[in-house]
């Protein structure tokens, strides 16, 4: 049997969720005919047949996570050299979709204080000790602690596995938290002079471009292994978009070279496509800096997360009227809160401050 494996989907993606099979065992298919749709953190991708043949086996059910290089489809016929290197033994031909359960990760219990009896109880009740709050002396986990956690989990129901965009978001945030030396500075822009109908996102994009031109060090990628950076000439802004499936960050290219009308049309299409999950994979990668307008939902200030290899993200909070001092007198002005998080391994506080000053100066221009 010839084994077709899940191919490399690009951009460092290591896994994909099976969302729909377009073929079944026994089907005669042609080369390039769609076989299966898989959802990655970036998009839903149709995988075509690499060659014509008869389907002998499907590896995985809808909802399963398939890993790059793992068997995906078996075709009738003798295996060839391309497959033999990673297929061990005889693969039995089945007449239904099968699913091989992935090996469970080893539980992280180092440093958790619990007696052998309590650990045995946790295994019996299928409770992860890392999730249990200890009440014993000096942080010791007791049997009552484990039983309490087991009752709560039983009432809550089975665990919901995180898939697709949310799974990628969880992995990316873990990477960012583990690697980036993040620091955040905050300030406000007085936008009271903006005329009615001003497009907030377009002004933020323009201001971000101004910041990058004033302090190019924030429009960069950092390589933590080589301890080096690339300061980018082109400004490709990742726009954080909230969707029902999770956070997506499609990229608005060449923002420094586009006129306002072109930028507006591109931005509206980008956001609509992101929410419809129609953004091409190439438009979800290789941004040089990120913008998050979380204030359109809620919040004044935040500590946005920098995702490597980028080194900075600008967050915009909720616009509100505030009493501020103008010409030594109190005045009510519309203020836009800003939060700039940067990777302090490669960006200095002075560079971040000058960047934010340039952003604010551009935002405070009437037009």
Domain regions of the chain by residue span: 2-84, 116-156, 165-363
Domain 165-363 coded CATH 3.40.50.720: no
Token pair, residue 199, equals 């497009």
Q: What is the pLDDT of residue 12?
A: 58
Q: What is the pLDDT of residue 355?
A: 98
pLDDT, averaged per 10 consecutive residues of the chain (367 residues), comes to: 83 78 93 88 80 92 88 80 36 34 44 88 90 86 91 85 78 84 96 96 97 97 91 95 86 94 94 86 87 94 93 97 95 98 96 98 96
Give the CATH number of domain 2-84.
2.40.50.100
Please provide the DSSP assignment of 239-277 as one string: E-EEETTEEE--EE--GGG--HHHHHHHHHHHHHHHHTT
Q: What is the pLDDT of residue 4?
A: 92
Picking from 352, 271, 273, the residue whose alpha carbon sits closest to that of residue 311 is 352
Of the CATH numbers 3.40.50.2300, 3.10.129.10, 4.10.320.10, 3.30.565.10, which one belongs to the domain with range 116-156?
4.10.320.10
Instruction: Judge whether 267 and 321 are in contact, CB under 8 Å.
Output: no
Token pair, residue 114, equals 């619990």
Instruction: Judge whether 356 and 338 are in contact, CB under 8 Å.
Output: yes
Picking from 263, 233, 267, 264, the residue whose alpha carbon sits closest to that of residue 250 is 267
Q: What is the pLDDT of residue 365?
A: 96
Q: What is the pLDDT of residue 92?
A: 32
Q: What is the pLDDT of residue 305?
A: 93
- Helices 116-125, 143-156: axis angle to 10 degrees equals 10
Backbone φ and ψ for 361, nearest 5 degrees, come out as -60, -40
- 145-165 as b/e: b if 16+ CB within 10 A: bbeebbeebeeeeeeeeebbb
- How many DSSP H helices and E strands does the chain contain? 7, 19
Q: Which residue has the tokens 């953190």?
A: 41
d(CA 189, CA 337): 6
Q: What is the pLDDT of residue 87?
A: 31
Topology alike, domains 116-156 and 165-363:
no
């Amino acid at each position: 049997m010839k084994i077709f494996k899940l191919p490399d989907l690009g951009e460092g993606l290591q896994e994909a969720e099976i969302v729909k099979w377009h073929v079944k065992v026994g089907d005669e298919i042609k080369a390039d005919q769609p076989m299966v749709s898989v959802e990655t953190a970036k998009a839903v991708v149709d995988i075509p047949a690499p060659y014509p043949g008869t389907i002998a086996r499907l590896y995985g059910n809808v909802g399963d996570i398939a890993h790059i290089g793992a068997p995906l489809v078996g075709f009738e016929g003798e295996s060839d050299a391309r497959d033999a290197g990673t297929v061990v033994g005889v693969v039995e031909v089945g007449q239904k979709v099968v699913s091989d359960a992935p090996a469970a990760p080893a539980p992280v219990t180092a440093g958790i204080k619990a007696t052998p009896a309590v650990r045995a109880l946790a295994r019996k009740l299928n409770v992860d000790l890392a999730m249990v709050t200890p009440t014993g002396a000096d942080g010791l986990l007791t049997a009552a602690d484990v039983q309490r956690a087991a009752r709560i989990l039983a009432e809550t129901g089975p665990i919901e596995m995180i898939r697709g965009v949310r799974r990628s978001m969880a992995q990316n945030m873990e990477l960012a938290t583990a690697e980036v030396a993040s620091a955040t500075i905050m300030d406000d822009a007085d936008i009271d002079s903006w005329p009615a109908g001003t497009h907030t996102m377009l002004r933020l994009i323009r201001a971000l471009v101004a910041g990058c031109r004033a302090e190019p060090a924030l429009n960069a990628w950092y390589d933590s292994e080589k301890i080096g950076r690339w300061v980018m000439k082109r400004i490709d802004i990742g726009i954080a978009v909230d969707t029902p499936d999770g956070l997506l960050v499609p990229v608005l290219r060449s923002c420094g070279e586009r006129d306002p009308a072109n930028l507006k049309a591109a931005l509206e299409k980008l956001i609509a496509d992101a929410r419809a999950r129609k953004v091409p994979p190439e438009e979800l990668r290789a941004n040089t800096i990120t913008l998050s307008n979380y204030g359109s939902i809620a919040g004044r200030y935040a500590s946005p997360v920098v995702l490597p290899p980028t080194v900075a993200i600008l967050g915009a909070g909720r616009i509100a009227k505030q009493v501020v001092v103008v010409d030594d007198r109190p005045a009510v002005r519309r203020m836009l809160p800003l939060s700039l998080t940067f990777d302090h391994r490669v960006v200095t506080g002075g560079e971040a401050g000058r960047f934010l000053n340039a952003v604010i100066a551009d935002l405070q221009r009437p037009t």
